[in-house]
Chain A
């Protein structure tokens, strides 16, 4: 009896204490900054911008599966699935009690609608190739949907976890870009275009309620403004921080934690393999040996970045370090240029507006000047870069980070802007796709890396780091970016 009185008294005291000191309660709001403003909030029709996915993926919209922070496939709207023996039929069992933000329940027909629209003729889905092998989608019952493939596809479940494969409802398809209606833990509260988006917790969310209830996501693209906004204490979380030069200063500041993670971004000095004189392997080799990776990483990235010698991320199990093939050796470069019979060479270097490219450009210009190649730098905007460099191949050199996961296949594409054509490489890539044996696949992937390195298909520079600035006390942020994402429901304040 006595103990229960004490317990009551204690409980009362605690209740009093907590009601008098609300400061003890953990914060439930967060101020987030993103570099680019999404142009739409619908990842299935809005275009390729990673910002759309970072904002909406796992927050507003959800897919059948999801990619977790380690890059592994997890169930999401599909609580489980059965795969037929031949690997052609996937039967997804949907999560119970899922409702869209407008109160309508999620059904198998929504899944059918989403997948059919994404692969349909009029699809404007930026990653339409993800759905290319789907032959048919059938509704079995309200909670079950059957997807039949035209050929087995090892990464099908992974593909269904991309932001582009989220499930939308036909009722809202036309307006999802500006008034998104998804099934996720957050729903849109307001979007002041050009300034910020406010997300609030979805009270009828089917899963666990998130700890962060209100998230204000501001768009701060300019590195200077990014630095100023972080240092002035306006921002609690900035993923993909664009100014590595101030990291030392921010690290020394007790208000912040600096997290340096990995992306799938191979940053390359792309060379136009199809255009003289870069069609000559000797010239490409000369360029490759003129690049001092440590100086580039130090100068442009203030040391943040891992050198690469081919087109594979160092975090990949199949990665081999091939940086020695194109080690820094300007004397060799000069010799190679002489052998190739090239002198008075002038090359164009077109730089997209990413800060890493703009910062690395002058360094590479100088390094190539030392071996006698004059480089004309032109700063271009993204639209210009996409049309003239990427589509029309009107360039000699450019600097770009290729961020898609498992994108080594681009070197096997004949129409790709590298204009690189290697039958040997195409064969290896094809074999990787047809092989199910992990050991054999590993060996083939290493083979692929070696072909690219020995062909000097590009100047391989460094793996792009993912720099996150988080306020002290913020927990649960993703360290790496296996896919562009910023799941707010995984974040919380420690006090």
Chain B
């Protein structure tokens, strides 16, 4: 992790919002991402049909005026399922990333503050250890131990986000600990914990946001994969990965059933990645200088 720029406080002439509109990938990514977020929010208030309502005589319909994306093998409205599925995907990925940040960042900051100590060693070796486990396999193990559910999927994905953020936070914090503004805070008698919170954390937020966006998109993919093997949200709660799994034998009868949820995943991940790229260019001045 060498992509550490100077702390934000040192850049005065930087208006992120003006800059943002100049980055096409940020604009495109933000557009796609907000599309999915809007879908998820709308589904909380209104959906064309009840997401669980079945209508077996009208199963496997193609796209039509009554059912924009057709109906599935139980005659449920696919458009509704996609809307509610957005909620599942975003919910699981959000909590998983939150878990990663919530546990990983404090660990990383702590390790950086105690650099070279036994605790630092233990934290970092623990991270290495988690990285050494094949992530998807362990997620499958965790969900089969504790039973398949959206919550266990969140935990399983979240565990593997912890070392990502811990390493990032530690590496970024280490470079800040040698900075003058940190040294002067130490001279002023502030404790390590206080410095970490007051001076280090605000200066690595940008980095965390960029990484968080990327982890979020990986979380969406991981949730889809777990749901695809039946270990995500349980029926009748729709999930894009499960919709794919349920419809794949029907590819020649009702191809839209296998295509639409796949596209939903692609759009979400694409949007988040584009936004992450855009954010990195915008928030990381070193890259901004070298790339423009």
| Chain A residues close to B by CB (< 8 Å) | 223-224, 227, 231, 243, 245-246, 249, 295, 298-299, 353, 358-359, 361-363, 365-366, 369, 376-381, 384
Contacts and interface: CB of A to CB of B under 8 A. Distances in A.
Contacts of A298: 56
A459 to B, nearest CB: 17
A385 to B, nearest CB: 12
Contacts of B253: 245-246, 249
5 contacts: A246-B252, A299-B74, A362-B54, A377-B236, A381-B144
A243 B249 CA distance: 7
B249 A224 contact: yes
B235 A299 contact: no
Interface string B145-187: 0011100000000000000000000000000000000000000
B52 A227 contact: no
A299 B250 contact: no
B252 A361 contact: no
Given A249-B253, A378-B234, A362 B147 contact: no
B248 A224 contact: yes
Given A295-B56, A299-B56, A365-B235, A245 B73 contact: yes
A359 B56 CA distance: 12
Given A243-B249, A365-B235, A377-B234, 13 more contacts: A231-B252, A246-B249, A249-B252, A298-B56, A299-B54, A361-B235, A363-B54, A363-B74, A365-B52, A366-B54, A376-B234, A378-B148, A378-B234
A230 to B, nearest CB: 11
B7 interface: no
Contacts of A358: 230
Contacts of A299: 54, 56, 59, 73-75
6 interchain residue pairs of minimum CB distance = A224-B248, A299-B56, A362-B235, A243-B249, A227-B249, A366-B54
Contacts of A227: 249
Interface string B210-254: 000000000000000000001000111000000001001110110
Contacts of B52: 362, 365-366, 369
A363 B144 contact: no
Nearest to B52: A366
Contact of A223 (B53, B75, B144, B249): B249
Interface of B: 52-54, 56, 59, 73-75, 144, 147-149, 230, 234-236, 245, 248-250, 252-253
A408 B74 CA distance: 32
Contacts of A353: 230
Contact of A378 (B147, B249, B250): B147
Nearest to A369: B52
Contacts of B144: 381, 384
Contacts of B235: 361-362, 365, 377, 379
A119 B145 CA distance: 35
Contacts of B252: 231, 246, 249
A190 B249 CA distance: 31
Contacts of B148: 378-379
A86 B249 CA distance: 56
A250 B175 CA distance: 64
Contacts, number: 61
Contacts of B245: 224
B245 to A, nearest CB: 8
Contacts of B248: 224
Nearest to A350: B147
B250 A362 contact: no
Nearest to B252: A249
Contacts of A245: 73, 249-250, 253
Contacts of A381: 144
Contact of B236 (A231, A243, A359, A365): A365
B236 A380 contact: no
A470 B53 CA distance: 37
Contacts of B74: 299, 362-363, 366
Nearest to A367: B54
B52 to A, nearest CB: 6
A133 B196 CA distance: 77
A485 to B, nearest CB: 26
Contacts of A379: 148, 230, 234-235
Interface centre among B75, B149, B236 (most CB of A within 10 A): B236
Nearest to A292: B56
A120 to B, nearest CB: 35
A106 B245 CA distance: 50
B182 to A, nearest CB: 51
Nearest to B145: A384
B125 to A, nearest CB: 33
B122 to A, nearest CB: 35
A231 B147 CA distance: 34
A231 B59 CA distance: 23
A131 to B, nearest CB: 35
A325 to B, nearest CB: 23
B236 A246 contact: no
Nearest to B237: A377
A329 to B, nearest CB: 18
A397 B205 CA distance: 49
Contacts of A231: 252
Nearest to B250: A245
Contact of A362 (B230, B236, B249): B236
A221 to B, nearest CB: 12
Contacts of B56: 295, 298-299, 363
Contacts of B53: 366
A223 B148 CA distance: 20
Contacts of B149: 378
Nearest to A359: B73
A366 B236 contact: yes
A223 B250 CA distance: 10
Nearest to B75: A299
Nearest to B229: A222
A245 B258 CA distance: 15
A243 B245 CA distance: 13
A361 B73 CA distance: 13
B156 to A, nearest CB: 15
Contacts of B249: 223-224, 227, 243, 245-246
Contacts of A366: 52-54, 74, 236
A447 to B, nearest CB: 35
Contacts of B73: 245, 299, 359
A362 B73 CA distance: 11
B141 to A, nearest CB: 12
Nearest to B149: A378
A361 B242 CA distance: 14
A246 B248 CA distance: 11
Nearest to B258: A224
